[in-house]
Amino acid sequence: MKDQVNDRTDEYGGSLENRCRFVLEIVEAVANEIGAERVGLRLSPFADYAECVDSNPKELGLYMANALNKYGILYLHMVEPRITTHEKVECPHSLVPMRKAFNGTFLAAGGYDRHDGINAIAENRTDLVVYGRLFLANPDLPKRFA
């Protein structure tokens, strides 16, 4: 989907709509097969590892959040731009436009700690917070957060 990687010249390349077409076709096919209430999607429009970047990741994320509403999927899980491979970078509230655009359950990930997660939910910036790395490193995380 990212313009710095997708160099196709057919119906799956070029414009933002074309670059997102393949993913949306898959979402539609899976939703039709098993029901949209059983489908979720994780997107990392801000990720920049392995030179896989987009010139306008916010536009990409917002386009996908809006486009996914057509299918009524259960959730959209997005990753904040504030996390890199080695360190946390502050970039607060970057997913808010996508959260507002998406009609289903919205999950946010990206270097959250307990305090950040509580605030994100309290401020309605997300429905759920995902603690991937933190949970993998601390299998007892629910007890620690209690």
DSSP string for residues in 27-71: HHHHHHHH-GGG-EEEE-TT--GGG---S-HHHHHHHHHHHHGGG
Mean pLDDT of the chain: 91
Residue-level pLDDT at 52: 82
Which H helix or E strand runs over 19?
A: helix 16-34
At 99 the three-state DSSP class reads helix
Neighbours of 109 (CB within 10 A): 22
> What is the pLDDT confidence band of residue 90, given thresholds at 50, 70 and 90?
low
Q: What is the CATH number for 125?
A: 3.20.20.70
What does the block give as tokens for 75?
């959730």
Residue-level pLDDT at 50: 75
Residue-level pLDDT at 109: 94
In a domain, residue 87? The reply is yes
In a domain, residue 102? The reply is yes
Count of domains for the chain: 1
In a domain, residue 90? The reply is yes
In a domain, residue 54? The reply is yes
Which H helix or E strand runs over 144?
A: helix 141-145
In a domain, residue 8? The reply is no
* pLDDT exceeds cutoff 80 at 54: yes
In a domain, residue 7? The reply is no
Residue-level pLDDT at 49: 74
Which domain covers residue 93, as residue numbers? 16-145
Mean pLDDT of 85-112: 82
In a domain, residue 5? The reply is no
Report residue 78: phi and psi, to 5°. -125, 150
* pLDDT exceeds cutoff 70 at 61: yes
pTM of the model: 0.89
Q: Which residue has the higher pLDDT, 101 or 94?
A: 101
